Amino acid sequence: MADGLDRRGGGGRTVVIILVVVAVLAVLAYALGLFNVDAEGELRTPEVAVAVEGGELPEVQVETADIDVGTKTETVELPEVDVSTTEEEIKLPTVEVSPAGDDGTTQK
């Protein structure tokens, strides 16, 4: 029975492969100039008439809540942070640039 299911699924796949091959061959044949398509006449879009009549919006009444924005004073506990510093000696990189001829060896 599994063989019957495989054959049915493979048939659909075969049809898709054949259609893809035919499409590729048609594009290739056109690109190589094996056939030519001539069209006569002017391409025009169809004329469309649209009739619009006035519409009407429904009456809507909206009631919203009252919102009051303000401030009030409250007492809150804040942590007290004590920061202390110490002095230490560390090595920092330095850069010295001496322009060319500044060492006195250039002859004038």
Nearest-CA neighbor of 32 among 40, 43, 24, 20? 24
Distance CA 99, CA 37 (A): 76
For the segment 44-51, the average pLDDT, to the nearest whole number, is 87
In the chain, domain spans: 1-36
- Amino acid 60: pLDDT: 87
Instruction: Say what the pTM is.
Output: 0.29
User: Tokens 């492969």 — which residue?
Assistant: 17
Binning pLDDT at 50, 70 and 90, where does residue 9 land? Answer: low
**pLDDT over 70 at 3, yes or no:** no
